[in-house]
Structure 1
Amino acid sequence: MGTWDIGPFDSDTAADFSYRVDDAPAEKRAEVLRAAFREVTATGDDYLDSDLAVEAIASAALVAAQCPGGEPVTTAYGPKEPLPELPVELRPMAVAALDRVLGQDSELLELWEESDGEEWKAGIRKLRAVLAGA
């Protein structure tokens, strides 16, 4: 896993995902985020691959940036193209995806618990709180 910090875009997978968001036509960018949330929540109780989890977290950060109290995505590894106003129905989808990432059988959670797990989990919970409160 090419990860250099605990932020939503601080990995190779998240940076690659940003390119996918940028490559989508403006009117389809919300669908790219929606698909990332669906892939994670569709795993149910099955093992959740870390790459899917990373993409859902990056998507959640983009949605949260448009919420009251959300932090803008300013990293050079995030999307370069501006996002249109995102549909509010993405917010509960993002919350459900983040809950799944922090749940059982999550490879990304297991990987983070081997290092800075508590700090990383605190960041995910903060992101979730912004989305749930919006």
Structure 2
Amino acid sequence: MGTWDAGPFDNDTAADFCGDLDEAGPGEREGIVRGVLAVVADAAGDDYLESPDSDRAVAAAALVAAQCPGGEPADSAYAPDEPLPDLVGLRGLALAALDRVMTEPSELLELWEGPDGASWRAHVSRLRDVLRPRPPGEQFSLI
């Protein structure tokens, strides 16, 4: 796997996933994102989670978060170019997938251990914060 930075789209697996979304028909894109998230969210806590599944799930969660209040745009050169449907309904599934990625045994979590992984962990933490439900009336804040 080639990884060139710590962002959600900055590895070969995530870039390929986004390319697959671009090649899919408009009516298929939500199902592809849902499927990628479900594979990881549904993985048993004691099953070893392989990094390719996690890389796809982190990218998919970033696409969902981009549509949520406080989310950062998915404007990476490796993010999908084609329009995506409304993915906000996948917010809970995306959060569950990220929670599983960040729970041992997780190959991606192991790969980003140590000080070199601080930036990646910060990206994932930011996505989790955006995806986390807010009480009614509470606004999203970066502070």
Q: For the superposition of Structure 1 and Structure 2, which TM-score range results when normalised by the shorter chain?
A: over 0.9
SS for the counterpart of 1:113 is coil
CA distance in 2, matches of 1:47, 1:94: 19
Tell me which amino acid in the other structure corresponds to 1:53: S
Q: Which runs of 5 or more structure 2 residues have no equivalent in the other structure?
A: 135-143
CA distance in 2, matches of 1:114, 1:71: 25
Q: Tell whether 2:53 aligns with 1:19.
A: no
CA distance in 2, matches of 1:114, 1:46: 23
Q: What percentage of residue pairs aligned between the two structures are identical?
A: 56
Runs of 4+ in 1 over 4 A off after TM superposition: none
> What is the alpha-carbon root mean square deviation over aligned residues?
1.3
Cα offset, 1:42, TM superposition: 2.3
Deviations 1:56-80 (A, max 9, x none): 0000000011000101111111111
Cα offset, 1:115, TM superposition: 5.6
What residue is the counterpart of 1:59 in the other structure? 60
In structure 2, relative to structure 1, the CA distance for the partners of 1:115 and 1:2 (3 Å cut) is farther
Cα offset, 1:82, TM superposition: 1.1
Count how many residue pairs are aligned between Structure 1 and Structure 2. 133
In structure 2, relative to structure 1, the CA distance for the partners of 1:2 and 1:114 (3 Å cut) is farther
Task: Please identify the structure whose Cα radius of gyration is greater.
Answer: 2
CA distance in 2, matches of 1:6, 1:123: 7
Alignment of 1:43-58 (within 5 A): 43-44=43-44, 45-58=46-59
SS for the counterpart of 2:76 is coil
SS for the counterpart of 1:89 is helix
Cα offset, 1:119, TM superposition: 2.0
